Structure 1
Amino acid sequence: MLSIHEATRHFGGLTAVSKVTFDVAEGEIMGVIGPNGAGKTTFFNLVSGAIPLSSGSITFDGRSIGGLPPHRVAHLGIGRTFQIVRPFGELSVLDNVLAGMGAVPCRSLPGALRLCKRQKHLDKARAILASTRLLAVENEVARNLPLGLLRRLEIARALALQPKLLLLDESFSGLSHKETESLSELVLELRTGGMTVLLIEHNMHITMNLCDRLVVLDRGHKIAEGTPDAIRLNEAVVSAYLGTED
């Protein structure tokens, strides 16, 4: 579904991502891990169109997307969450999902919400809220939600685009053990429903138990790729996370 070939991004004299190459298969949960400063979020920004490639290529569902802007990438079927949750704070949970649908071309957010408040759109939005276990708080103002529910709302809003591929950028960050387990169940349910997932996560316990395969970045370079069991025993990965003795 997603093919990355020698993806590279320079910021002046700094190379944040260097010739990263790997594929993501349809229906797979793929993890991108690495220490702080490894280039993980920059890589996600390249895939989602937030920043352009310096060189290399990214192909999604058979189409090159390396030079497309974020809204075009989203319309092709890639949804994304962010490290820092930023809902439309004054809108309800339901309206946040309606705003994320993006299917009707409008010039303003209020105009989009008016058009989306047709029954078929409301039914679709509530189905998404039900699947993400947010239906009980659909009328709550988004800024009043606790972090665990805000993380779910980010995913619900991304799902409103009807993506084929979902990018989760540290969606487990700051969650309690119970919230983490519940969100892991949601990700597995999405995969069962046909979603392909690419995620960034610092918590190794989560990635080892949730992902089918992992790619490890360190200082912008891919240093390993494989199953969780293979990654756990990889000397380069152990060195990147734990360091080596002098």
Structure 2
Amino acid sequence: MLQTEGLTRRFGGLTAVNDVSLAVNKGDIFGVIGPNGAGKTTFFNLLSGAFPCSSGKILFKGEEIQSLPPHQVARRGIGRTFQIVRPFLELSVIENVLAAIGVKHSGNFISALGQSGRKRFRDEARALLRRTQLERFEDDVAANLPLGLLRRLEIARALGLHPDLILLDESFSGLSHLEANALADLVRELREGGMTILLIEHNMHITMNLCDRIAVLDGGQKIAEGSPDEVRNDPGVIAAYLGTDA
């Protein structure tokens, strides 16, 4: 589904992502972990087109996409959420989802919102709200939602693009234990529905129990990859998180 080959991003003298190669298979829940400053979000920004690559390749379903801008990456089937939730705060919950659905059929944001009255679009939006357990909040203004529901709204909005792959950037951050477990159940349901998921997460309990495979970044480089058990017991990973003395 997704493959990176020698993916690198430099900011002047700083190499934030350094020669990262990995492959995510269709139907995977694939985790990317690492200490703060390891290059995880920069890696996601490269995948989604927000940052250009300094070198390397990104192949999505066999097609090179590293030179595409974000809107074209999204239209090819990659949706994403953000570490800091970014809904359209003044719009209602359903309008946020309608904006994403409309983009599939429009050239710009205003045109997408202008199609929000179409019955088939609203039916599709309500189906996504049911899928993410947000149907009770359809008419609520997004700015009034608590963090747990905003995380779900970001996922619902990403699903409005009909992605084959969704990038979740710390979607569990700030959630209570119950909220995190409920969101993990939603991620599993998405995978059962045919979605491929790549996630960044600091919650090790969630990551180890949710992911099929995990890649570990440290200083922009991939230092380990494997099953949760393999990664958990890797000496390099232990050193990166806890120090060599530990």
Shorter-chain TM-score: which interval?
over 0.9
Q: Equivalences for 1:215-230 in 2 at 5 Å?
A: 215-230=215-230
The equivalent residue for 1:162 is 162
Structure 2 residue identity aligned to 1:99: A
Q: Aligned to 2:167, what secondary structure does the other structure show? A: strand
Q: TM-score with structure 1 length normalisation? A: 0.98
SS in structure 2 opposite 1:241?
A: helix
- Local SS of the residue matching 1:9: strand
TM-score normalised by structure 2 residue count:
0.98
- Match of residue 85 from structure 2: 85
Residue in 2 that maps onto 1:231: 231
Question: Counterpart in 1 of 2:104?
Answer: 103
Q: Percentage identity across aligned positions?
A: 64
**Residues of 1 paired with 2:108 and 2:215: CA distance?**
39
Aligned match of 2:25: 25
Q: Output one character per residue of 1:56-97: Cα deviation in whole Å (capped at 9) or x when no partner.
A: 100001100011000000000000000001111111000000
Q: Secondary structure at the match of 1:202?
A: coil
Partner SS state of residue 4, structure 1: strand
How many angstroms apart in 1 are the aligned matches of 2:78 and 2:46?
A: 12
Greater shift after overlay, 98-107 or 20-29? 98-107
Could you say if the C-alpha distance between residues 21 and 107 of structure 1 is closer, same or farther in structure 2, counting changes exceeding 3 Å?
Answer: closer
Runs of 4+ in 1 over 6 A off after TM superposition: none
Which residue number in structure 2 is paired with residue 242 of structure 1?
242
Q: Within 2, Cα distance between the matches of 1:89 and 1:7? A: 34
Partners of 1:108 and 1:96 lie apart in 2 by: 11
Equivalent-residue separation in structure 2 for 1:117 and 1:133 (angstroms): 22
Tell me which amino acid in the other structure corresponds to 2:106: P
Gaps of 5+ in 1: none
Q: Mapping of 1:123-202 within 5 angstroms?
A: 123-202=123-202
Tell me how far 1:106 sits from its aligned partner. Answer: 4.0
Contact 2:95–2:116 (CA under 8 A) maintained in structure 1: no
* In structure 2, distance between residues paired with 1:106 and 1:167: 23
Q: Tell me how many residue pairs correspond in the alignment.
A: 245
1:5-20 matches, cutoff 5 A: 5-20=5-20
Q: Deviations over 1:24-71 (max 9, x none)?
A: 000000000000000000000000000011001000011000110000
CA-atom RMSD, angstroms?
1.0
Q: Determine the structure 2 residue equivalent to 1:64.
A: 64
- How far 1:116 moved relative to its partner? 2.9
Q: Residue type of the partner of 2:29?
A: I
The one-letter amino acid of 2:157's match is R
Q: Runs of 5+ in structure 2 lacking a partner?
A: none
Q: Deviations over 1:149-171 (max 9, x none)?
A: 00000000000000000000000
CA distance in 2, matches of 1:107, 1:228: 41
State the secondary structure of the residue aligned to 1:116. coil
3-state SS in 2 of match to 1:156: helix
